[in-house]
Amino acid sequence: MTSNTTTREGARGPWIQTYTGVAFDLLDPSPDMIVLEDIAHALSLLCRYTGHTSRFYSVAEHSLEVARFATECSHKQVAVPMAQWGLMHDAAEAYVGDVSAPLKSVLPKYKRIEREISGAVISRFGIELGDGAIQKVIKHIDRVMLVTEAKALMGPAPKDWGIGVEPLVGWEPRCLSPKEAKAEFLSMATEMFAGAL
């Protein structure tokens, strides 16, 4: 759905209607358009790897795994923002879908829109990212999970992924249902962002 008229929440440009009924402006996202339930709901229904998996595995479950891994491998002073960004690093996909990394690499306008939405998410939940070190660590964890999840859910790769990381040993996906993934995502986020909700 797109429109160029002002609607609920003030969207003026191309917009989508979210699960909770927000008119989300894709070109001018603002923190007040970001709703936790919209993120949890949409990510729980999006399958990783554009659906080319042996079992359903949601972006929400992936985000939960990144947040847990970030908590385990971070120092106490950065554990909270590391886990927060781990959980929300793909939150923009709730509004623009899960575009595969190879396709995203040739869509500069998409990447700019995704960055703007991520900025609104960071502002909405008050995530303190500091000098960029947290994003770098989460990006590394995300890449490790990319190859780990792919190995578990897609079998042997026909070519090298070319990202220079090895999969985790002994990790298995739970393959939560959308309802379960949404509930766990909301529970973790409610605990992490209690002051911002």
Q: What is the mean pLDDT for each group of 10 consecutive residues in the chain (197 residues)?
A: 42 90 96 98 97 97 96 75 95 94 91 96 94 91 95 90 90 97 98 87
In this structure, the answer to whether residues 88 and 150 fall within a common structural domain is yes
50 in the same domain as 8: no
CA distance 144 to 31: 30
Range of the domain at 121: 35-196
**pLDDT at site 172:** 96
pLDDT of residue 115: 96
Same-domain pairing of 10 and 61: no
Q: Rounded distance, CA 166 to CA 131, Å?
A: 27
What is residue 1's predicted lDDT score, i.e. its pLDDT?
38
For 75, list phi and psi in degrees, rounded to 5. Answer: -75, 155
Question: Which pLDDT value is given to residue 10?
Answer: 61
Structure tokens at 119: 């900025």
Look at the block and give the residue holding tokens 């759905």: 1
Clarify whether residues 43 and 68 are in a common domain. yes
pTM for the model stands at 0.91
Whether residues 169 and 189 share a domain: the answer is yes
Q: Give the per-residue pLDDT at 75.
A: 66
Please check whether residues 6 and 94 belong to one and the same domain.
Answer: no
Structural domains of the chain, count: 2
Q: Confirm if 15 and 2 have CB atoms less than 8 A apart.
A: yes
Does residue 114 share a domain with residue 24?
no
Question: CB within 8 A of 131, min separation 6: which ones?
Answer: none
Could you give phi then psi for residue 154, rounded to 5 degrees? -130, -10
Whole-angstrom Cα distance, residue 139 to residue 142? 5
Does residue 56 sit in the same domain as residue 153?
Answer: yes
Same structural domain for residues 75 and 1? no
- What is the CATH classification number for the domain harbouring 50? 1.10.3210.10
Q: How far apart are CA 139 and CA 147, in angstroms?
A: 13
Domain match, 96 and 139 both: yes
Do 126 and 167 fall within a single domain? yes
**144 and 184: one domain?**
yes
| Distance (Å, whole) CA 41 – CA 26 | 18
